C-alpha cells in the first residue's frame, strides 16, 4: 500500500514523458518498399545470400496479401510506400565493455529514458540490448554471459557470428507467410535481439531489450529470437518508447521463442509506445506477432504484458504447446485511454498430452478508447487431458469508452477441459466511496483500485519492472477520471 501511494505521489507529468526526440544524425533509406530497398537493407547489414533470398520471398508473398480486417480496430489505410524502412543513427556500435565509444548524445537520451548502460553502476544485473530505429546501438554484459555459454546480442550481430543457429530457427515459430505483418517484417526486419541459452544453463540475470523509435516517418521492424535448450531458463524483458509526433508511425515486430525439454522462458513486456495526443492525433500503430513453441516435453513459456501505449495495438502473444506436459501462460494488463484502440489477447494451441495453459487478462478502458480481448484456445485431437483456464475481466472508466471480449474455444479432444470466464463492469461506486471517505481524491482512488484490479498480472513481472509498470499505469490514467 505504501509503495502504491508513493508511486502515485511520484506522478508529475500529465504528458507522455518519453515524447522528446534526439537530434542525432541518421543514415536513412529512401521512403517506400520494393525489392531494391530490401537489397539495400540486406547489403547494409552484410547479410549472406540466403537471408536476402528469404527476405525477398517474404516480400513477394506479402505483396499478394491484404491487411487483416477481423480485429475490432478502426484506422485509415496505411500507405506502405510512405514509410522509411531503414534508419540508423550514425554512431558506431560500442564494443562490449567499451561504452565510452557510444555517442554522448545517445547516452544522454538513454539516461533520460532511465536506461543505464554503465554496468558497474548497476546493482541488479540486467543485461540490456538497445535498439534505436533500425539498429542495435549497445549491448551490455555480453562477456559475463558468454562465460556461461549464453549468447545475447543484436540480431545483426547474430547473423554474422551465429549464422547456423539463426538459419536453423529463424521463421520456424512465426513462418514468413503467417500473416500480413509477419510477412512484412520478414521482408524488412532490421535489428532486434538474439538470445541463446545452452543446455542446462539458468541465465543468471534478466535479459532485456529496449526499443526506441526516433526518426520521423520511419517504421520499426525488429525481430527477436530466443532459444532455450534442454533445461535452460531465461527471463526476458522488453520495453519501448517513441517521440511524440503528429503522424502515426508503424511498428511491426516479431518475437519467436523456442523452448526445448524442461526449458522455461519468461517474456515480459512493458509497452509504452507514444499513444497519440488528447485529440487522437499521432501515435504508434503497433502490429506485433509474438509466438513461442514449447517444443520439448515439460517446457514452459510465460508471456506477461503491460500495454499502455500505442494508438493501435494488435498483438496476440501465443504458445504452441507441442511437448507433453508443457505449460503456456499469458498474463496481460491493457490500459487504453484517449482515442487508443487495443485488440489484444493470446492463442494457446494444445497439441501435446497433459498440456496446461492459463490466461489472465485485465482490460481497463477510459476516455474514448476501445479495448478488446481476443483469445483462442485450440485443443487438438492429440492433446489428451489438456487443461485451460481463462479469466478475462474488463473495467470501464467513463461512458464514452468500450470494453469487449472475444474468446474462441475450439476443442477436438474429449478428455480436455477448457474454462473461460469474463466479466465487464464499471469501477465500484462503493469502493470509490470507501477510498474517498478515507481521504483519497477520486483520481488516486481510481489508480489504487485499478492497481488492485491488475495485481494478479503485475505480480508476474520481475521486480524491477513491476515498479515501473505500476507507475506507468498510474501516469497513464491521469486525466481520465471525472
Partner 1 sequence: MDTIRTEYLEERFKELQSAQTGSALQNWRSEGFKNFNKLGLPTLKNEEWKYTGISRLFTKDYTIPSKKDNVIDREIVDKTAIPGASGMEHLVFVNGKFNKDLSSFQSNDGFEICSLEEAFNGKYHEDAEAYFNKSSLFIKDGIHALNSSFMNESVFIKIRKNYHATKPFYFDHIFDTTSNHLLASPRILVVIEENANVQMIGSYYTHGSMDSFSNEVMEIVVKENARLEYYKIQNDTPNGSHTGTTHIRQIGKSYVHTVNISLNGGMIRNNTDIIMEEQANEAHMYGLYFLKGNTHVDNHTLVDNTKPHCFSNELYKGIIDEHATGVFSGKIYVRPDAQKINAYQSNKNILLSDTGTINTKPQLEIYADDVKCSHGCTVGRLDDEALYYLRARGINKDLAKSMLLKAFADEIVMQIKIEQLKEYVETQISDRLQLAD
Shortest spacing between CB 298 and partner 1, in angstroms: 24
- Cα separations (Å) of 6 from 78, 129, 137? 42, 30, 34
Distance CA 264, CA 9 (A): 37
Question: How far, CA to CA in Å, does 461 sit from each of 157, 332, 333, 432?
Answer: 29, 10, 11, 27
Q: Tally Cβ neighbours within 10 Å of residue 74.
A: 8
Based on C-alpha coordinates, what's the Rg of the chain? 22
CA angle 135, 141, 142 (to 5 degrees): 65
Query: Judged by CB under 8 A, does residue 98 bind partner 1?
Result: no
280 near partner 1, judged by CB under 8 A = no
What does the angle CA 160 – CA 164 – CA 166 come to, to the nearest 5 degrees?
75
Helix, strand, or coil here: 8?
helix
Residue 257: all three cell numbers together: 521463442
402 binds partner 1 (CB under 8 A): yes
Stretch binding partner 1 (CB under 8 A), from 129-137, 139-147, 391-399, 453-461: 391-399
In this structure, what DSSP letter does residue 389 have? Answer: E
3-state secondary structure 18-31: CCCCCCCCEEECCE
State the minimum distance, in angstroms, from the CB of residue 409 to partner 1. 5
From the CB of 353, what's the least distance to partner 1, in Å?
A: 13
Of the candidate spans 3-11, 115-123, 165-173, 422-430, the one that interacts with partner 1 by CB under 8 A turns out to be 422-430
> Which listed residue (414, 430, 439, 463) binds partner 1 by CB under 8 A?
414
Which member of 399, 430, 438, 439 binds partner 1 (CB under 8 A)?
399
Q: Nearest distance from residue 332's CB to partner 1, in Å?
A: 16
Read off the DSSP letter of residue 478: T
Question: Binding segment for partner 1 among 94-102, 293-301, 407-415, 449-457 (CB under 8 A)?
Answer: 407-415
Distance of CA 74 to the CA centre of its chain: 21
Which DSSP helix (H) or strand (E) runs through 465? helix 463-477
Among 51, 78, 409, 467, contact with partner 1 (rule: CB under 8 A)? 409
Among 21, 177, 413, 431, binds partner 1 (CB under 8 A): 413
Question: What are the C-alpha distances in Å from 398 to residues 74, 206, 364, 395, 426?
Answer: 20, 38, 11, 10, 8
Instruction: State yes or no: residue 160 binds partner 1 (CB under 8 A).
Output: no
Asked if 239 contacts 208 with a C-beta cutoff of 8 angstroms, the reply is yes
Q: Judge residue 266's burial from the number of C-beta atoms within 10 Å of its C-beta, 0-12 exposed, 13-18 middle, 19 or more buried.
A: buried
For 69, the 3-state DSSP assignment is coil
Q: Are 150 and 203 in contact (CB under 8 A)?
A: yes
147 binds partner 1 (CB under 8 A): no
Q: Tell me the window of 29-37, 239-247, 323-331, 395-403 that interacts with partner 1 (CB under 8 A).
A: 395-403
Of 33-72, binders to partner 1 (CB under 8 A) are: 70, 72
Site string for partner 1, 426-465 (x = CB under 8 A): x---------------------------------------
- Smallest distance from partner 1 to CB 71, Å: 10
Three-class secondary structure of residue 317 per DSSP: coil
C-alpha cell at 195: 538470445
Judged by CB under 8 A, which of 423, 441, 452, 459 binds partner 1?
A: 423
Distance (Å, whole) CA 326 – CA 355: 5
Identified binder of partner 1 from the candidate list 254, 301, 418, 446, rule CB under 8 A: 418
Number of residues located near partner 1, criterion CB under 8 A: 36
Q: How far is the CB of 343 from partner 1 (least distance, A)?
A: 12
10 contacts partner 1 (rule: CB under 8 A): no
| Nearer to partner 1 (CB atom), residue 43 or residue 381 | 381
- Report DSSP letters for 137-158, one per residue: EEE-SHHHHHHTT-EEEEHHHH
| Among residues 102, 135, 170, 416, the one that binds partner 1 under rule CB under 8 A | 416
Interface mask (CB under 8 A) for partner 1, residues 343-382, using x and -?
Answer: ------------------------------------x-x-
Q: Which of 336, 394, 470, 476 binds partner 1 (CB under 8 A)?
A: 394
Candidates 8, 403, 448, 469; binder of partner 1 (CB under 8 A) is 403
Whichever of 73 and 379 has its CB closer to partner 1, that residue is 379
Smallest distance, partner 1 to C-beta of residue 171, A: 25
Show the cell assigned to 476: 497513464
Q: Applying CB under 8 A, which of residues 425, 433, 441, 459 lies at the interface with partner 1? A: 425
Q: Would you count residue 397 as binding partner 1 (CB under 8 A)?
A: yes
Interface positions with partner 1 (CB under 8 A) = 70, 72, 379, 381, 394, 396-426
Amino acid at each position: 500500500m505504501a509503495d502504491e501511494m508513493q508511486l502515485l505521489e511520484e506522478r508529475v507529468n500529465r504528458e507522455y514523458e518519453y515524447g522528446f526526440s534526439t537530434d542525432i544524425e541518421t543514415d536513412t533509406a529512401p521512403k517506400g518498399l520494393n525489392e531494391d530497398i530490401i537489397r539495400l537493407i540486406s547489403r547494409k547489414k552484410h547479410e549472406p545470400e540466403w537471408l536476402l533470398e528469404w527476405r525477398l520471398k517474404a516480400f513477394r508473398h506479402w505483396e499478394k496479401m491484404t491487411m487483416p480486417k477481423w480485429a475490432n480496430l478502426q484506422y485509415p489505410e496505411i500507405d506502405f510506400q510512405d514509410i522509411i524502412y531503414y534508419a540508423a543513427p550514425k554512431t558506431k556500435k560500442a564494443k562490449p565493455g567499451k561504452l565510452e565509444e557510444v555517442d554522448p548524445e545517445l547516452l544522454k537520451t538513454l539516461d533520460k529514458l532511465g536506461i543505464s548502460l554503465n554496468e558497474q553502476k548497476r546493482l541488479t544485473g540486467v543485461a540490456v540490448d538497445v535498439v534505436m530505429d533500425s539498429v542495435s546501438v549497445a549491448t551490455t554484459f555480453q562477456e559475463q554471459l558468454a562465460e556461461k555459454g549464453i549468447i545475447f546480442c543484436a540480431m545483426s550481430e547474430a547473423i554474422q557470428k551465429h549464422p547456423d543457429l539463426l538459419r536453423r530457427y529463424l521463421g520456424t515459430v512465426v513462418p514468413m507467410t503467417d500473416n500480413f505483418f509477419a510477412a512484412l517484417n520478414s521482408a524488412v526486419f532490421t535489428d532486434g535481439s538474439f538470445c541463446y541459452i545452452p543446455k542446462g544453463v539458468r541465465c543468471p540475470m534478466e535479459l532485456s531489450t529496449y526499443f526506441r523509435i526516433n526518426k520521423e516517418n520511419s517504421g520499426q521492424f525488429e525481430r527477436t529470437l530466443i532459444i532455450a535448450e534442454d533445461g535452460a531458463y531465461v527471463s526476458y524483458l522488453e520495453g519501448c518508447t517513441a517521440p511524440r509526433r503528429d503522424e502515426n508511425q508503424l511498428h511491426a515486430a516479431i518475437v519467436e521463442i523456442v523452448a526445448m525439454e524442461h526449458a522455461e522462458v519468461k517474456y515480459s513486456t512493458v509497452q509504452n509506445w507514444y499513444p497519440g495526443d488528447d485529440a487522437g492525433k499521432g501515435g504508434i500503430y503497433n502490429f506485433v506477432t509474438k509466438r513461442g513453441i514449447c517444443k520439448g516435453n515439460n517446457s514452459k513459456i510465460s508471456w506477461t504484458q503491460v500495454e499502455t501505449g500505442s494508438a493501435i495495438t494488435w498483438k496476440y502473444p501465443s504458445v504452441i504447446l507441442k511437448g507433453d506436459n508443457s505449460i503456456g501462460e499469458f498474463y496481460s494488463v491493457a490500459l487504453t485511454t484517449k482515442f487508443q484502440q487495443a485488440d489484444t489477447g493470446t492463442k494457446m494451441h494444445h497439441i501435446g498430452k497433459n498440456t496446461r495453459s492459463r490466461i489472465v487478462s485485465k482490460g481497463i478502458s477510459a476516455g474514448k478508447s476501445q479495448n478488446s480481448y481476443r483469445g483462442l484456445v485450440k485443443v487438438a485431437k492429440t492433446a489428451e487431458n489438456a487443461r485451460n483456464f481463462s479469466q478475462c475481466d474488463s473495467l470501464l472508466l467513463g461512458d464514452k469508452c468500450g470494453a469487449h471480449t472475444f474468446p474462441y474455444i475450439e476443442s477436438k479432444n474429449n478428455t480436455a477441459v477448457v474454462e473461460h470466464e469474463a466479466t465487464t463492469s464499471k469501477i465500484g461506486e462503493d469502493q470509490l466511496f470507501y477510498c474517498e471517505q478515507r481521504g483519497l481524491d477520486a483520481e488516486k482512488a481510481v489508480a489504487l483500485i485499478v492497481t488492485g484490479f491488475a495485481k494478479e498480472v503485475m505480480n508476474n513481472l520481475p521486480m524491477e519492472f513491476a515498479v515501473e509498470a505500476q507507475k506507468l499505469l498510474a501516469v497513464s490514467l491521469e486525466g481520465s477520471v471525472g
